[in-house]
Amino acid sequence: MPNSSQATSTALTTAVGIKESIHHSRTTQSSESRFDSLRSEWTLFAPQREQRPDDFDVVTADESSSQGCPFCAGHEDQTPASVWVGRLSGHQGKKRYEIDTSGQPCGSDWDVRVVGNKFPAVQSFCNPIVDSSSETYLPKPANNAMAPRSVTGSSTSRSLFSRAPARGGHEVIIESNRHTRSLADVSPLQAELVFAAYRDRMRHYRNQPDVRYVSVFKNVGPDAGASLAHSHSQLIATNFMPRSVEHSFGLMRRHRATTGCCLMCDMIREERKTKDRVIARDNHVIAYCPFASHLPMMVRITTHQHQAAFEDLDDESLAAVSRMVYRVISWLDKIRPGTSYNYCLSTKPTSDEDSSDAFHWSIDIFPRLTRVAGFEWASGCMINPMLPEEAAKQFRHYAAAENPQRMP
């Protein structure tokens, strides 16, 4: 059996080989822009930019030590109380894990647990608002928006500097009682338990009357924004809908009203036809590199069948989704060992019950291979140095090695 350093060396050698095999095509391709129908934005593809020299090494933190880690078993007193606890049953069958939502102390007897974030981004609904006297809200657009100051009166300053309490919930999903770095470091069944936690906690917040959106995301590594190395993800529920979500949701609604079809479903059908960007698929889910990916090696995972909300997935579909995410992350770890990555789960806003036919949930996984620089900040247009077709080739190399018969 090869040791860990040999395995890492082999993975790096293979990754370099893949990179060199398509070096010529990258350097000879010209730049092009592609339109992202889900974001209504252009992405500028410049494959030749991947060959730029870089004087700055990526700094990776030492993630091997569990000393003092608040997420490891035995350190439960260092986090807020658990609101959800999952335990693997230890046997094969229908009931492969057990879930406890009693809120009782679990000690070290857990495999996945959910706790409140010790440093929340939003104020919990359980806590009273300390001072609401200064809150103002963005006004609705008015016909006199460009009227002289004498007409609009003193309310102008209030509308220019509006604020409101940010309320909801902020939770941490601790994905293992062991000190692991990535979701691919646990078992596939434990990864499924993590996704069961997502589903249950999203259902919980969907039933809160003041919640308008629930976001689930994962940061792995310092370049992805992780402050702790221990594998975990987060959930933030807000009493407002983020602007980018509202914009994307509006595009989906308009597509549905114009064509009678779901925008994501139409995209999936086209991806299945061309197969150029498809990485893997099974009876339930598909993984592909989006046509206008705004980040290199970005992968999107969703269900073949229309499903508006992730939290409405049945157990069979949930297991299929978790397996696919697990596989993609394991391939990414082989292509780019130790690379920081994020994934974000997009689901139907809780505040709109009438648009289930328009919205289609998805998960985007993206390694942090490039830095957002001046042009991106100035224009809002992302530069991607890798075409999605080429990114898909790298993923398919490992997908084929894993199981050639399950290739798209």
Does residue 294 carry a catalytic annotation?
no
Residues 183, 184, 188, 189: what is their CA dihedral angle, to the nearest 10 degrees?
Answer: -30
Q: Which residues of 236-255 are buried (b: 16+ CB within 10 A; e: fewer)?
A: bbbbbbeeebeebbebbbeb
Q: At what angle do helices 188-206 and 315-335 cross, to 10 degrees?
A: 120
76's tokens: 């439960």
Phi, psi for 278 (deg, rounded to 5): -80, 130
Residue 365 and residue 333: Cα distance in Å, rounded?
A: 12
Q: What is the DSSP string of 84-138?
A: EEEEE-SS-SS--EEEE-S----TT--SEEEEE-SS-SSEETTSPPS--TT-B-P
DSSP type of residue 31: P
Which amino acid belongs to residue 26?
R
Q: Interior CA angle at 249 toward 272 and 201, to 5°?
A: 90
Query: Which of 170, 179, 204, 232 is the catalytic position?
Result: 232
Place of tokens 């009273």: 128
Stated as kind and residue range, the H or E segment containing 27 is helix 23-28
Mention every residue, 6+ apart, whose C-beta is less than 8 A from residue 80: 115, 116, 117, 118
Catalytic residue list? 232
